[in-house]
Structures are given as C-alpha cells and as structure tokens.
Amino acid sequence: MSALQIIFDALSLGSLYALGALGIALIFGVMRLVNFAHGDVIAFCVFALLWPSVDAIAIVFAGNLPWFLLIPFVLAMGAGLSVLCELVVFRRFRNTNPATMMIASFALGFVIRYFLLMLFSSRPKSIALLPELSQPVTVLGARMPLLQLITILVTVGVLLGLTIFLRRTRFGLEMRAAAENFTMARMLGVRANRVIMVAFALSGALAGAIALILGSQTGTANIVMGANVMLMAFIATVIGGMGSLAGAVLAGFLLGATATLLQALLPPEARAFRDAFVYGAVILVLIFRPQGILSAGGMKERV
C-alpha cells in the first residue's frame, strides 16, 4: 500500500469519526448532554430507506430515489428523529444533572434500537445504496473508491459550512454564546428552546450523513451499525475537549489516522488487536491532557 493510499484511508476514516464527534459535541455544547442515542439515530437513517420486514433481503422503500432526493431524505430523517428525541425525551431532563441525561440517552438509544429490531429483525440486510459511488477513481496516483474521495470532500464541505454558520450568522453567534454560558445567553434574550432544537437538527443531519457513508461503504443495513462510530466519536469528543467543536473534529481525524496507521504498520499477527492499541493511545492522551486537546474556554468556570 502506498503512503498516499494510507493518507486517503486515514482521512476518510477520520472524516467519519469527525462527523460523528461533531454531532455529539454540538449537543453537548448547548446542554451538557452526552447523547448516546446518536449511534442509533445513524442506524435509523439507513433503515428509513427500507420497508419494515424481517426477511434477509431488504425491501427498498426510499433507497431507489435518485441521489439528489435520497440524500436530503436521509438527512431530514436524521434531523427529524433527533428533534423528536429532544421534544419527547431530552426536554424533560433539561435541568437535571449530566449523568441523568446521559442515562436517559442510553435508554432512548435502546428504544430506537429495539424499535428497529422489532420491524427489521437483528439480521443484517444487504442494500445497494448509491452503487455508483463504489467505482474506483485515481487521485494523485492512488486508487480508491469514489466514495472515499466523496467522504473526505463532504466532510470538508460540512466543516466549512458549519464554520461559516457559527461564525457569520446571528444564529450561529447565539449558539456559540449558549454553548459557553447558557443562562447568560438566555438573559440576553437568546431563545433556549430554539437554539437547542437547531443543535439537535444539525446533529441529526450529521448522523444522516454518516448513515449514507456507512451504508454505501458496507452495503449492509444493521441495527448496530452506528455503535462503533458512536463509540469512536464519543472518544473523539472527550480527547478533543468536551464542548470544543474544533477539538472534536481534530480528535476525530487523529483517531482515524491512528487506527489507519496501526492497521498498516503493525505486524500482521498484532493487527487483530489494533483497537487495543488505539484505546491505549487514548488513555495516554487523557493521562497527559485530561482536559482534552483543545478544552472549551467556558468549561473551567462551571461548577
């Protein structure tokens, strides 16, 4: 494998983790909730393309839509479910402590997962999602599936778009203020419910983007397909510094790079234990920088 190929692998895996971490950090920023249901929202987005059935073969519902309808559909599904979670569940936990909210999110994740289980069974189904993306392309001499290139480009696009939204718009400003000091932002007239709802919608749409990438990449729909990304994304938000969006993205890419490099460089007999090495590295980072790589400025003063 060429060095260039390793770099592209690292970037595309890192993109996935960064998108996931961003989805978690956005919500953590405004309401100090670690949303463990995020992974199940990802799975839901993929299953939203299928008719309910327990057969091994997926009965496609919206999955055959042309891409320009399919993509908004999946993003809207993610955003919709995420906002629904906020309205039905998280809103009632608004002023409880973070541990309670976290447990509520675990429970909600299981509810979504078992809902999917009931409708689709636990058997993974093969789906052909955006098959045109699996054709190979050559970039700078490295061969890769088109999907990998698109994953990287989409992530860069999402990051740029989000940065512009947060830096240049009034709503983005209100969100950043709310993330740093929610009560103070409210005392300046910032509407709490609206800010939180937008954070959930953005986070859900990001889950939809991950669902599209994972679904096309693996060609399967599996009710636990979001779990691994969710775990990595959560780790990325922790080592990035809880509440720091830039930190979450950076750590997501670092995790992706670490995993890819270990995969390429470890002796073959140790590769099966790659994740153990990754988590070992995470522990090392946390020992030397427990506040995360980029800790959010407002966190220190919270008691």
Find the part of the chain contacting other proteins (CB under 8 A) among 170-178, 196-204, 208-216, 258-266: 170-178
Residues 9-48, interacting with other proteins (CB under 8 A):
none
Calpha distance 139→78 (Å, rounded) = 32
Calpha distance 12→37 (Å, rounded) = 23
Alpha helices in 121-267 (DSSP H): 146-168, 170-180, 182-187, 192-218, 227-240, 245-265
By CB under 8 A, residue 302 contacts other proteins: no
Calpha distance 145→147 (Å, rounded) = 5
Q: Which is nearer to other proteins, 14 or 29 (CB)?
A: 29
SS3 of 118-131: the string is: HHHCCCCEECCCCH
Find the part of the chain contacting other proteins (CB under 8 A) among 133-141, 251-259, 277-285, 291-299: 291-299
Instruction: Name the amino acid, one letter, at 254.
Output: L
Which x/- pattern, by CB under 8 A, does the window 117-156 give for other proteins? ----------------------------------------
By CB under 8 A, residue 298 contacts other proteins: yes
Instruction: Name the amino acid, one letter, at 158.
Output: V
| b/e burial code for range 241-261 (CB count within 10 A of at least 16 → b) | bbbbbbbbbbbbbbbbbbbbb
Do β-strands 125-126 and 220-221 pair in parallel, antiparallel, or remain unpaired? antiparallel
By CB under 8 A, residue 190 contacts other proteins: yes
Number of residues that bind other proteins (CB under 8 A): 22
Q: Which is nearer to other proteins, 278 or 294 (CB)?
A: 294
By CB under 8 A, residue 291 contacts other proteins: no
SS3 301: coil
Please identify which residue in 189, 267, 272, 287 interacts with other proteins, judged by CB under 8 A. Answer: 189
Find the part of the chain contacting other proteins (CB under 8 A) among 68-76, 171-179, 220-228, 262-270: 171-179
Residues in the chain: 303
Calpha distance 214→201 (Å, rounded) = 20
Please identify which residue in 145, 186, 277, 293 interacts with other proteins, judged by CB under 8 A. Answer: 186
Q: Which is nearer to other proteins, 127 or 177 (CB)?
A: 177
By CB under 8 A, residue 83 contacts other proteins: no
| Contact call for residues 295 and 247 (beta carbons, < 8 A) | yes
By CB under 8 A, residue 180 contacts other proteins: yes
By CB under 8 A, residue 184 contacts other proteins: yes
Q: Which residues pair with 57 in a beta bridge?
A: 126
By CB under 8 A, residue 191 contacts other proteins: yes
Q: Which is nearer to other proteins, 41 or 249 (CB)?
A: 249
Please identify which residue in 181, 218, 220, 228 interacts with other proteins, judged by CB under 8 A. Answer: 181
Q: Is 242 left (phi over 0), alpha (psi -120 to 50) or beta?
A: beta
Binding site for other proteins (CB under 8 A): 170-171, 173-174, 176-177, 180-181, 183-192, 296-298, 301
